[in-house]
Amino acid sequence: MELVCHEQRRNWTWYYNAELKEYVRLDNATGRMKGTITGVNLPNPDEIDAARKTAKARGQLPLAARDCADKVTKQLWEHWENAKSNQ
């Protein structure tokens, strides 16, 4: 499996399994798998950004809430876009 990124807010690391075309999240403290998601099911960070801005404009999110997808979502998405083009 290929290392993709480390989460800053949680003690997790994301890896990519090219054979299964999925991302695996491991807990750094225990080494146990904490989740998986296939590349085709990753959320698009641009769509998250647009949805959050719309929600803030409608008063559905606090104005102080972040406007964009988190860093890990962006890293996984960018990795997936590169992996797709290399298949």
Spell out the domain ranges in the chain: 2-85
Q: How many residues comprise the chain?
A: 87
- Distance (Å, whole) CA 45 – CA 74: 6
- Distance (Å, whole) CA 31 – CA 34: 9
Query: What SS3 class is residue 61?
Result: coil
Q: Look at residue 87 and tell me whether its pLDDT is greater than 80.
A: no
Block residue for tokens 């606090």:
62
Report pLDDT for 51.
Answer: 95
pLDDT one-digit tens code per residue, 8-17: 888 999 999 9
Report pLDDT for 9.
Answer: 87
**Closest residue by Cα to residue 1 from 10, 19, 80:** 19
Enter the pTM of the model: 0.88
Single-letter amino acid, residue 27: D
Report pLDDT for 8.
Answer: 86
pLDDT one-digit tens code per residue, 24-69: 999 999 999 999 999 999 999 999 999 999 999 999 999 999 989 9
